[in-house]
Amino acid sequence: MAHQSGWPSSDCRWRTLLASFQPMKFAWEYKTLHLATQGWLTPKLDQVKFEALLNELGRDGWELVGTFATHEGYGRTSAVMAVLKRPR
């Protein structure tokens, strides 16, 4: 519907813009990292090395999606798994 000025109403312009909007579609590539912990009583991950590795992978376009710990038993963490993704 046009206003007296001849321009479409702002509501109509928004509907036209939204109708033409196509969400971006990516094909993702995934990478998993198996990061061993160090220590017997209280296993720890080397934070400095982990951060350096993430920064290196980030420069190659990888983004950290999530992490989870694997357990050997009695709640002891044997490794940390990291999941990364980037557009193909």
Q: What is the pLDDT of residues 12-56, one digit of tens each?
A: 777 777 777 777 777 999 999 999 888 877 778 899 999 999 999
Residue 21 lies in a domain: no
In single-letter form, the type of residue at position 77 comes to T
Residue 3 lies in a domain: no
Name which residue leads in pLDDT, 1 or 86: 86
Q: Which CATH number goes with the domain that contains 30?
A: 3.30.70
pLDDT at residue 10, rounded to an integer: 63
- The pTM (predicted TM-score) of the whole model is 0.65
Instruction: Tokens for 60, please give them.
Output: 């190659």
Residue 70 lies in a domain: yes
pLDDT at residue 59, rounded to an integer: 98
Domain enclosing residue 42, as ranges: 26-87
pLDDT at residue 38, rounded to an integer: 84
Element (H, E) at 59: helix 47-59
